[in-house]
């Protein structure tokens, strides 16, 4: 009896809310479209409060800041799509950055080797995450939490608490420079996004990712090796985090033990805003891209309209709960 009453209550509230939010259903078919509208509304509101928002300098800063988060969020999306979660990305970003400075490389010729090394290191971390999640069926939350703490330990062990190396000057250009007015790191992020778009939405592997995320058991039944697909997703996520870490260092200009702190949660938040569902199997590259962009946009708007910087945290919390509630209740999947 009680159960029934509960069920009815839940139903009627849901109906009540959905009629209030009827216009939102217009965007339900293409949630990316809704996200673009939301971003545009945000830009218009911000500009009307503070015209300086559309100043080319601010726009460039915003895009440069967005690029590392875009890169990391793309990876996070892959892991979330296969019902996972990667809490180790920020720790990996910092560890890769700290390792890179250990070479004390001066010449710009070293940039490529450093990138390759970072990719190999990150891929190993991703492989370990993926193997533990699939072969030992440990929950992704705990695997990546343990990995986060262990990478943190490794980093402090290497640096003894004070990273002191240096990076070639070219990193600064990669992370902070522009090419015909467009930030270089944004170009890289978009190029990566395009490649990942082809991988996720136009390849056999990508179809496998969605099937595994939807239901790992049925994936095995239709001949997709769900373990292998999942492991690849963790590797992709970690590699992107490593690359994102190097670009972030290029943007910030200095390396400390906490480069990228907070990116693990921000990338999850961005992916959720972008419509990548935490229970797996639903989401898109474009959505993840827009989610990350909107998050950085919100941060920037708060500063530019003169709200205190702590407001970023409050708005971040409200936005993530709001976005998740929106997708869970009112936007059709």
In this structure, what token pair is assigned to residue 58? 């601010």
**List 143, 188, 235, 331, residue binding other proteins (CB under 8 A):** 143
User: Minimum distance from CB of 16 to other proteins (Å)?
Assistant: 12
The reply on whether position 329 binds other proteins by CB under 8 A is: yes
**C-beta of 42 vs 265, nearer to other proteins:** 265
The reply on whether position 124 binds other proteins by CB under 8 A is: no
81-120 residues labelled b (16+ CB within 10 A) or e (exposed): bbbbbbbbbbbbbbbbbbbbbeeebeeeebbeebbebbbe
In this structure, what token pair is assigned to residue 3? 């159960």
CB 50 within 8 A of CB 305: yes
**C-beta of 148 vs 212, nearer to other proteins:** 148
**List 1, 57, 162, 180, residue binding other proteins (CB under 8 A):** 1
User: Whose structure tokens read 């070219």?
Assistant: 170
**List 131, 187, 278, 305, residue binding other proteins (CB under 8 A):** 278
**C-beta of 10 vs 177, nearer to other proteins:** 10
Contact region for other proteins (CB under 8 A) — 21-29, 147-155, 171-179, 203-211? Answer: 147-155
In this structure, what token pair is assigned to residue 28? 């339900």
Report the alpha-carbon distance of residue 126 to residue 198 in Å, rounded: 21
Question: What is the size of the binding site for other proteins (CB under 8 A)?
Answer: 52
In this structure, what token pair is assigned to residue 241? 């985090």
CB 244 within 8 A of CB 294: no
**List 66, 89, 111, 132, residue binding other proteins (CB under 8 A):** 132
User: Minimum distance from CB of 140 to other proteins (Å)?
Assistant: 10
User: Minimum distance from CB of 278 to other proteins (Å)?
Assistant: 5
Report the alpha-carbon distance of residue 215 to residue 276 in Å, rounded: 16
Q: Specify the 3-state DSSP secondary structure of 86.
A: coil
The reply on whether position 13 binds other proteins by CB under 8 A is: yes
Contact region for other proteins (CB under 8 A) — 66-74, 228-236, 240-248, 266-274? Answer: 266-274
CB 272 within 8 A of CB 291: yes
DSSP 110: G
**List 64, 99, 239, 272, residue binding other proteins (CB under 8 A):** 272
Q: Specify the 3-state DSSP secondary structure of 211.
A: helix
Instruction: Return residues touching other proteins (CB under 8 A).
Output: 1-3, 6-7, 10, 13, 85, 132, 136-139, 141-143, 145-150, 152-157, 161, 265, 268-269, 272, 278-279, 308, 310-321, 324-325, 328-329
């Amino acid at each position: 009896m009680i159960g029934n009453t509960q069920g009815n209550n839940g139903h009627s509230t849901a109906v009540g809310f959905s009629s209030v939010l009827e216009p939102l259903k217009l965007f339900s078919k293409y949630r990316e479209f809704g996200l673009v509208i939301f971003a545009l509304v945000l830009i218009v509101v911000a500009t009307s409060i503070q015209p300086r928002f559309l100043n080319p300098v601010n726009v460039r800063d915003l895009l440069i800041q967005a690029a590392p988060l875009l890169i990391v969020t793309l990876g996070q999306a892959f892991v979330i799509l296969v019902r996972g979660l990667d809490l180790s990305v920020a720790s990996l970003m910092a560890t890769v950055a700290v390792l890179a400075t250990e070479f004390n490389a001066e010449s710009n010729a070293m940039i490529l080797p450093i990138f390759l090394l970072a990719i190999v290191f990150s891929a190993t971390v991703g492989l370990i995450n993926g193997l533990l999640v699939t072969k030992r069926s440990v929950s992704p939350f705990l695997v990546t939490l343990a990995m986060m703490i262990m990478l943190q330990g490794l980093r402090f062990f290497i640096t003894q608490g004070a990273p002191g190396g240096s990076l070639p000057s070219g990193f600064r250009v990669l992370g902070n420079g522009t090419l015909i007015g467009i930030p270089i790191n944004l170009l890289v992020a978009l190029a990566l996004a395009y490649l990942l778009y082809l991988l996720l939405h136009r390849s056999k592997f990508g179809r496998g990712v969605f099937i595994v995320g939807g239901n790992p058991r049925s994936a095995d039944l239709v001949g997709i090796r769900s373990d292998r697909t999942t492991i690849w997703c963790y590797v992709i996520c970690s590699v992107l985090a490593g690359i994102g870490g190097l670009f972030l260092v290029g943007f910030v200009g200095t390396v400390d033990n906490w480069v990228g702190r907070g990116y693990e949660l921000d990338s999850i938040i961005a992916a959720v805003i972008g419509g990548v569902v935490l229970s797996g199997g639903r989401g898109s590259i474009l959505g993840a891209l827009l989610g990350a962009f909107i998050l950085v946009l919100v941060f920037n708007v708060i500063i530019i309209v003169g709200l205190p910087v702590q407001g970023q945290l409050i708005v971040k919390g409200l936005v993530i709960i709001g976005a998740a509630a929106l997708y869970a209740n009112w936007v059709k999947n």
